[in-house]
């Protein structure tokens, strides 16, 4: 049972940025991630696919420290995320250590989660000012650039609720980028959008994927998008990676029976 899963090859492009080592996560008696090993190299765009409940979103939430693993370790850019190395012994990480490591990670949520009490511009500048210590002017200048990038340069002074879902999600992307993360986690970012708004968001993400070297870890049901931006696709089932490889291979000639079933259901 505990056989090696197919890893993405960490040596191909840049260093290893994310590593899950024998990570298990349970909710009650339900095992969501089962002794999971996998890694993502710097600069790669990796898409996680699989039936719902297969543990994809849990991976993102573990990385964002919204959940804690029951067993195993997670490393980000060489540092343990949820543990600290104290004199050669691994102990649960303190808040401060976790926050430092976590700064390298940004996340965009299915439900956007913009702060409704702040205008668009302040949604984006809040963390750069109060976490990174940027000056207000500098933070605002960068926020405006990012808003231009996502095509919302004229919405600085709006409140999130005055925007459409697609616009809100683009602000959320700008907000995540403003922290200059090394990794972006995208958690079904188009699932809550009306169909006609999906394309705008995906275009922005495509743009970022193709023009920056940010590593992306993406859970999505948009298979065309996955095919377009991914270097690697990981197929999850029952808490483990059952198949992985470049999108051409996974989508055209999947090896695993479960992958074929899943793809025929969603494509």
Partner 1 sequence: MKWDWDVARDFLPQLGHGLLITLEATALGSILAFALGLVWAMAFRSPSRFVKWPVAAVTEFIRNTPLLVQLFFFFYVLPTWDIKFSALTTGVIALGLHYSTYTAEVYRAGIDGVPVGQWEAATALSLSRGRTWQAVILPQAIRRVVPALGNYVIAMLKDSPMLALIGVVDMLQKARGEASSSFHYIEPFTMVGIAFILIAYPASLLMRALERRLGH
Q: Which residues bind partner 1 (CB under 8 A)?
A: 64-66, 99, 102-103, 105-107, 109, 111, 113-118, 126-127, 130-131, 175-176, 179
Instruction: Report, in Å, the least distance between residue 67 CB and partner 1.
Output: 10
Residue 161 DSSP label: G
> Smaller CB distance to partner 1: residue 180 or 221?
180
Instruction: Report, in Å, the least distance between residue 117 CB and partner 1.
Output: 4
Instruction: Report, in Å, the least distance between residue 109 CB and partner 1.
Output: 6
CA distance 149 to 250: 31
> Smaller CB distance to partner 1: residue 176 or 214?
176
Dmax of the chain from CA atoms?
A: 56
> Smaller CB distance to partner 1: residue 82 or 244?
82
Which ranges constitute the DSSP H helices of 71-154? 95-102, 120-130, 136-149
Name the CA radius of gyration of the chain, rounded.
19
> Smaller CB distance to partner 1: residue 218 or 241?
218
> Smaller CB distance to partner 1: residue 128 or 254?
128
CA distance 127 to 123: 8
Look-up of token digits 């907000």: 175
Instruction: Report, in Å, the least distance between residue 122 CB and partner 1.
Output: 9
Q: How far is CA 267 from the centre of its chain?
A: 22
| Total residues found in the chain within this entry | 267
Q: How many CA atoms lie within 13 A of 263 on its CB side?
A: 23
Instruction: Report, in Å, the least distance between residue 10 CB and partner 1.
Output: 25
């Amino acid at each position: 049972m505990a056989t090696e899963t197919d890893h993405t090859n960490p040596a191909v492009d840049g260093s290893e940025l994310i590593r899950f080592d024998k990570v298990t996560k349970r909710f009650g008696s339900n095992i969501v991630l089962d002794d999971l090993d996998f890694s993502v190299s710097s600069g790669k765009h990796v898409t996680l696919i699989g039936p719902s409940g297969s543990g994809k979103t849990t991976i993102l939430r573990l990385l964002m420290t919204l959940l804690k693993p029951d067993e195993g370790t997670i490393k980000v850019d060489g540092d343990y995320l949820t543990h600290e190395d104290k004199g050669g012994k691994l102990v649960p990480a303190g808040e401060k250590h976790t926050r430092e490591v976590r700064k390298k990670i940004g996340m965009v949520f299915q439900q956007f989660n913009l702060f409704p009490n702040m205008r668009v511009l302040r949604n984006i500048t809040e963390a750069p000012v109060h976490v990174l210590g940027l000056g207000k002017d500098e933070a605002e200048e960068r926020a405006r650039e990012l808003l231009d990038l996502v095509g919302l340069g004229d919405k600085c002074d709006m409140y999130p609720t005055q925007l459409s879902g697609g616009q809100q999600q683009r602000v959320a992307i700008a907000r995540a980028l403003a922290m200059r993360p090394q990794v972006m986690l995208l958690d079904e970012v188009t699932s809550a959008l009306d169909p006609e708004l999906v394309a705008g968001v995906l275009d922005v993400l495509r743009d970022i994927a193709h023009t920056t070297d940010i590593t992306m870890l993406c859970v999505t049901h948009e298979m065309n998008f996955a095919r377009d931006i991914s270097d690697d696709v990981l197929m999850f089932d029952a808490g483990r990676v059952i198949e992985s490889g470049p999108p051409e291979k996974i989508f055209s000639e999947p090896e695993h029976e479960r992958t074929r079933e899943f793809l025929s259901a969603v494509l």
